[in-house]
């Protein structure tokens, strides 16, 4: 079943090319004048390419079924070479490079099949990806030069009864985005301590990430502690965290993650579970790093 409502979908584009080398100028002329016995070569091959793009997952074992938003098949004739260019776009969580190459190859094979009665010297060559864009890699902002502090809010972990995994998962994610770690602390679920730690760190960090205390138990007070300090909220980050989690765990709707600026520092409150913290970071990174570019633009 195709997940067309995936909340982390991004417009992705892939352009692939295949080349058909015909044996004679007469073959090219016959294609252009529609004198090939099997019919209109370009139109028939284009139709085959459209089918191929949509059915790639039926042919290639590791390809997922996905919604194709747009397909374009173009031809360019260069002497005895016919270049086939396929452009595919999807609003989905994975790219369409294989779909584009599969479609290009099927267009070429269809043309070969239609032309073989009149030309015995046809070759297919250079099936390749010309371009791809979209997805997280296309919107990759670097965290180089940014400093972050990670604060774990948990009575049990601060008392030594449990081991922290969520905070460490956040640190690992930040390192992959070149963000420097300024401080890693564990504190109990106390409003005063959360607020005190925030005020202590806000001037020396670009990013402060709290994990824990965003649920609905009486001791989950992180949002209550941070909300009075937030000067400018960023609702889109909060929505993205919950939407991303909702696709994996129904209880994600109960999370009270928050995000906002205190001065020029971004402050986040993420879930305290290991998976909740990991998935929240996956949902918002690296796109969240763009807020620092936007902030600098406002200052200038």
Of residues 3, 113, 155, 220, which has the active-site annotation? 113
SS3 141: coil
> Distance (Å, rounded) from C-alpha 255 to C-alpha 243?
11
**Residue 113 is a catalytic residue:** yes
> Distance (Å, rounded) from C-alpha 136 to C-alpha 93?
9
Copy the structure tokens of residue 153.
């809010």
Instruction: Let me know: does 68 contact 96? Beta carbons within 8 Å.
Output: yes
Helix (H) or strand (E) holding 63: none
Instruction: Let me know: does 224 contact 271? Beta carbons within 8 Å.
Output: no
Which residues is 183 bridged to in the sheet?
Answer: 149
> Distance (Å, rounded) from C-alpha 38 to C-alpha 31?
11
The strand order across the sheet containing 70-78 reads: 70-78, 81-92, 10-21, 123-134
> Distance (Å, rounded) from C-alpha 5 to C-alpha 132?
22
> Distance (Å, rounded) from C-alpha 70 to C-alpha 89?
5
User: Any alpha helices (H) in the chain, and if so which ranges?
Assistant: 25-32, 41-54, 56-59, 97-115, 155-158, 166-176, 191-201, 222-226, 235-246, 274-284, 290-299
Q: What is the largest CA-CA distance in the chain?
A: 85
Copy the structure tokens of residue 236.
């889109």
Copy the structure tokens of residue 52.
């191929």
Supply the residues annotated as catalytic. Answer: 113
């Amino acid at each position: 079943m195709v997940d067309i409502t995936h909340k982390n979908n991004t417009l992705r584009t892939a352009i692939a090319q295949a080349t058909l080398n015909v044996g004679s100028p007469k073959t090219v002329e016959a294609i252009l004048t529609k004198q090939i016995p099997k019919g209109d070569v370009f139109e028939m091959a284009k139709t085959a390419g459209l089918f191929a793009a949509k059915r790639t997952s039926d042919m290639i074992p590791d390809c997922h079924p996905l919604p194709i938003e747009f397909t374009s098949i173009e031809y360019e004739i260069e002497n005895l070479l016919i270049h086939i260019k396929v452009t595919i776009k999807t609003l989905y969580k994975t790219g369409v490079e294989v779909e584009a190459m599969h479609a290009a190859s099927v267009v070429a094979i269809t043309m070969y099949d239609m032309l073989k009665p009149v030309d015995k010297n046809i070759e297919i060559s250079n099936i390749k990806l010309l371009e791809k864009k979209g997805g997280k890699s296309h919107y990759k902002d670097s965290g180089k030069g940014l400093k972050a502090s990670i604060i774990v809010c948990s009575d049990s972990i601060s008392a030594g009864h449990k081991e922290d995994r969520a905070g460490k998962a956040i640190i690992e994610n930040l390192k992959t985005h070149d963000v420097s770690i300024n401080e890693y602390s564990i504190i109990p679920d106390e409003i005063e301590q959360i607020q005190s730690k925030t005020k202590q760190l806000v001037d020396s960090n670009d990013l402060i990430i709290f994990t824990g205390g965003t649920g609905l138990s009486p001791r989950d007070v992180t949002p209550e502690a941070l909300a009075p300090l937030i000067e400018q909220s960023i609702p889109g980050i909060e929505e993205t965290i919950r939407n991303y989690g909702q696709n994996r765990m129904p209880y994600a709707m109960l999370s009270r993650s928050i995000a906002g600026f205190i001065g020029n520092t971004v402050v986040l409150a993420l879930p305290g579970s290991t998976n909740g913290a990991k998935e929240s970071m996956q949902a918002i990174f690296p796109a969240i790093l763009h807020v620092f570019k936007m902030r600098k633009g406002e200052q200038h």
